[in-house]
Amino acid sequence: MEYVIEAENLTIMYDSVKAVEGLTFKLKKGETLLLLGPNGAGKTTLLRVLAGLHTNYQGKILVFGKSPSEVREKVAYVPQTFSLNFRVPLSVLDVVSMGGLYKKGLIHFNIPQEVIKRGLEILDFLGLKEIAKKSFRELSGGQKQRVIIARALMSNPELLLLDEPLSALDPKARIEATSTLSKIKEDMGITMIITTHDVNPLIEIGDKVMLIDRKLVAFGSPEEVLRDEIIGKVYGPAS
Ligand code: ATP
């Protein structure tokens, strides 16, 4: 059995304060995990540990069998963005290609042709090629989110961590972004963790659901976890 993530009794700290306590779970290759929990539950904190960006933790956490900081090149992290813009005007293709520029800590200032070619391939794959030359600033919120997800694919990640990718989007844009994620799951087989406050739009692509509230509340299939008596433990009884 090939596990992408193995966490055992994982406790994550900010200084000596425990933000997340005693998490144990495993995720298999190709699975999509929907990570739920109220504000302050520790979702972002967990993603940052998995991305190798936060190392103040105790217990066991293995990503591809190694410590997260050893496998950073296999992992792409898309932080939560309410409204993303760049200081300089950039085309969609520029923004996507920039995702292919960070290798071994080097940033190139001229985008090499092979990186641009790969950017176009990814935009084409996600059905975004027709907006490649458009100014990123002029895109709708939904298009921007899909472009940012496209950018994360430039490093050919094997694990994609997305922090509330749907939170700033209207219902139509949520559907479009979800279909982008679905395509990445089905056609690329990338293992994903997606944090969300609203599981409904993502339910079709979730193989596993984990509910946390600083500690693990529930982990299992959507049918096992998304039950009123479990969700009610954290969010109160359904009205
Ligand atoms: P939200 O749904 O609001 O994004 P979350 O589930 O992602 O919340 P986190 O942002 O991971 O929650 O926060 C978990 C806990 O860690 C909170 O109590 C928060 O105040 C604390 N925390 C987060 N970042 C820091 C930090 N840099 N320093 C100290 N404490 C922090």
Rounded to two decimals, the ipTM of the complex is: 0.97
The structure tokens 């103040």 sit at 56
Residue 99: per-residue pLDDT: 85
Mutation probe of ligand 1 site: the residue of 12, 17, 44, 217 with most atoms within 8 A of C-beta: 44
Q: Which of 46, 27, 19, 35 is nearest to 196 (CA)?
A: 35
User: Distance between CA 195 and CA 209 in Å, rounded?
Assistant: 10
Q: Work out the pLDDT band at 104, boundaries 50, 70, 90.
A: very low
Sequence letter at residue 222? P
Q: For the segment 131-167, what is each residue's pLDDT rounded down to a tens digit?
A: 999 999 999 888 999 999 999 999 999 999 999 999 8
- Residue with CA nearest ligand 1 atom 26: 14
Both tokens of 186, joined, read 């089905």
Average pLDDT, integer, range 34-46: 96
Higher-pLDDT residue of 199, 84: 199
Query: For residue 87, what pLDDT is reported?
Result: 76
Closest to 62 in 3D by CA, of 2, 1, 6, 3: 6
Q: What pLDDT score does 202 carry?
A: 93
Instruction: List Cα–Cα distances, 10 to 26, 49, 66, 122, in angstroms.
Output: 12, 10, 15, 35
Q: Residues lining ligand 1, CB < 6 A? A: 14, 19, 37, 39-45
Please state the pTM of the whole predicted model.
0.93
